[in-house]
Amino acid sequence: VTSPQSWSPTEKQEVFLAAEEDEVLFGGAAGGGKSDALIMDALGLGEETPAIQVPTYKGLLIRKTFPQLREIIDRTRLVYPLIDPGATFKEADKVWTFSSGAKVIFGFCERDPDVLQYQGAEFQWIGIDELGHFATPYVYDYLTSRLRSPDKRLSARMRASCNPGPKWIMSKFGIKKDGADSMVTEVVNGKTIRMRFISSKLSDNHHLDGTGYLERLMRLPDVERQQLLDGRWDVYNVPGAIYKDQIDECRAEGRIRPLPYDPLLKVHAIWDLGWNDKTSIILCQKGMSDYRIIGYIEDSHKTLDYYSMLLKERKWNWGDMWLPHDGETRNLQTGRSAKEVLESQGWRVTITPKMDVESGIRAARMAFPQVYFDADKADVLVDHLYNYRRAINAQTGEATSPIHDNHSHGADAFRYLGVVAGQLSNTDWGGKLNYPNLNYA
Ligand X SMILES: Nc1ncnc2c1ncn2[C@@H]1O[C@H](COP(=O)(O)OP(=O)(O)OP(=O)(O)O)[C@@H](O)[C@H]1O
Of 82 and 366, nearer to ligand X (C-beta) is: 82
Which range in 1-9, 94-102, 393-401, 403-411 contacts ligand X by CB under 6 A?
Answer: 1-9
Residue 7 touches which of Mg ion, ligand X, none (CB < 5 to 8 A by kind)?
A: ligand X
Choose the contact partner of 32 out of Mg ion, ligand X, none; CB within 5 to 8 A by kind.
ligand X
CA distances to 32, 55, 194, 237 from 153, in Å: 30, 11, 20, 45
Q: Among ligand X, Mg ion, none, what does residue 408 contact (CB within 5–8 Å per kind)?
A: none
9 part of the interface to ligand X, by CB under 6 A: yes
Site string for ligand X, 174-213 (x = CB under 6 A): -------------------------------x-xx-----
In this structure, are residues 412 and 418 in contact, taking their beta carbons and an 8 Å threshold? no
Residue 25's closest CA among 143, 166, 156, 159? 159
Does position 225 interact with ligand X (CB under 6 A)? The reply is no
Phi, psi of 88, rounded to the nearest 5 degrees? -125, 150
Q: Is 227 in the site for ligand X (CB under 6 A)?
A: no
Rg (CA), the chain: 27
Work out whether 7 is an interface residue with ligand X (CB under 6 A).
Answer: yes
Element (H, E) at 255: none
Chain residues binding Mg ion by CB under 5 A are 34-35
Check binding of 76 to ligand X (CB under 6 A). Answer: no
Stretch that binds ligand X, among 2-10, 262-270, 362-370, 379-387 (CB under 6 A): 2-10
Does 280 contact ligand X by CB under 6 A? no
- CB of 320 vs Mg ion, minimal distance in Å: 53
Q: Give Cα 436 distance to the centre of its chain.
A: 41
Among ligand X, Mg ion, none, the one that 280 touches (CB under a kind-dependent 5 to 8 A) is: none
* Residue 389 φ/ψ region, left for φ over 0, alpha for ψ in the -120 to 50 degree band, beta for the rest: beta
Binding residues among 32-61 for ligand X as defined by CB under 6 A: 32-36
How far apart are CB 72 and Mg ion at their closest, in Å?
8
Of residues 27 and 410, the one with the C-beta less far from Mg ion: 27
Q: Is the dihedral of CA 414, 415, 421, 423 positive or negative?
A: negative
Give the span between the Cα atoms of 267 and 263, in whole angstroms.
Answer: 9
Q: Which listed option, ligand X, Mg ion, none, makes contact with residue 207 (CB within 5 to 8 Å by class)?
A: ligand X
CB-wise, 223 or 391, nearer to ligand X?
223
At 157, which helix (H) or strand (E)? Answer: strand 157-162
Evaluate whether 62 touches 114 at the Cβ level (below 8 Å). no
Residue 10 contacts which entry, Mg ion, ligand X, none (Cβ below 5-8 A, type-dependent): ligand X
Q: How far is the CB of 36 from Mg ion (least distance, A)?
A: 8
Residue of 43, 45, 53 whose CA lies nearest to 18: 45
Q: How many chain residues bind ligand X (CB under 6 A)?
A: 16
Q: Is 31 in the site for ligand X (CB under 6 A)?
A: yes
Collapsed DSSP state (helix, strand, coil) of residue 7: coil
Under 8 Å between Cβ of 177 and 233:
yes
- DSSP string covering 355-398, please? --HHHHHHHHHHHGGGEEEETTTTHHHHHHHHH-BEEE-TTT--
Binding residues vs ligand X (CB under 6 A): 4, 7, 9-10, 13, 30-36, 163, 205, 207-208
